[in-house]
Amino acid sequence: MTDHHSPHPPHGSDSSGSSGSSGSSGTEAGLRDRWHDTLVAARAGAAGPDPLPYAENLLARWAEPQRRYHTTAHLSTVLDRVDTLAGHADDVHAVRLAAWFHDAVYRPDRSENEERSAALAERALPEAGVPDAVTEEVARLVRLTVTHDPADGDRNGEVLCDADLAILAGGPQEYGAYAAQVREEYGFVPDEAFRAGRAAVLRQLRDLPRLFRTPYGAAEWEARARHNLATELELLASSGTG
C-alpha cells in the first residue's frame, strides 16, 4: 500500500500495514466460529473439508509478530463493520471471506501484500470447497484493497472498502491508538521519512471525493474521518517542524 489509497504510509524498501494485540483466546474462539459459519455458507450446500484447519492457518498469519495494527483485532473489527453494512452487499459471504484474506499476507516492508493475499485465497478456497465464482470474487475484492476505490455499483467492493477504512472514523482514543500502531509497524522507517510517507497517504485520502461509498458509511463515518485526517496531518506537520 504505497502510492495507493491505503491508510498506511509507503514502507522502507517496498510497501504495505494491521491491529493492536493479537486478541484474546475468547476473540479467537469467536473468530473460529465466524469462519466456520461463513465458509459453510459460501459452499452453498457443497461438501468440503473441516473448516477448522483453515481458520487456524489464517489466525496464525494474523497473529504474526511484525503486526501491530493488522492483527486479529483488526480482522474482528472489519468483520463487525461488514456485519453493519451487510444489507448493502450483493454477496456478503464473499465479502466476509475477503475480509479474512485481505491482510492475511502482511509484511510492512513489502508492496505485494494484497496480491499475495489474493493468491492465497485463490489456492485455499477451492480446496476448502468454495465454488470457483465465489473464489474469483474474493480474490478480486482482496486486490481492491490496494486502492480502496471500488467502481460505481460494485456493492461488494463498497462494503469491504468501507469496513476496512472505518477506523479512520474512530473516536480520538481509537484513532490515536491506530496511528500509533501503524507507526510501530513501520518502526524501521526513520521519523522524517515516515512523516513524509504518512502525510502523502493521508492527503491522497483527504483528496478523494468520497472516503465511504455505502449509504451508512457516508452518513455515519465520512465527516469524522475527514476531521481525523485533517487533525493527523496538522500533527505530522507540527512534529516535523518542532
What whole-number distance in Å separates Cα of residue 229 and Cα of residue 175? 10
| CB neighbourhood size of 88 (10 A) | 19
pLDDT tens by residue, 219-232: 999 999 999 999 99
Cβ partners under 8 Å of residue 60, min gap 6 = none
**For 10, phi and psi rounded to 5 degrees?**
-60, 150
User: In terms of C-beta density within 10 A (0-12 exposed, 13-18 middle, 19 or more buried), how is residue 186 classed?
Assistant: buried
String of DSSP letters for 44-73: TT-----SHHHHHHHHHHHT-TT-SSSSHH
- The reported pLDDT for the residue numbered 136 is 98
- The reported pLDDT for the residue numbered 28 is 85
pLDDT tens by residue, 17-26: 333 333 344 5
Q: What global pTM score does this model have?
A: 0.88
Q: Poorest-confidence range of 20-29, 116-125, 155-164, 201-210?
A: 20-29
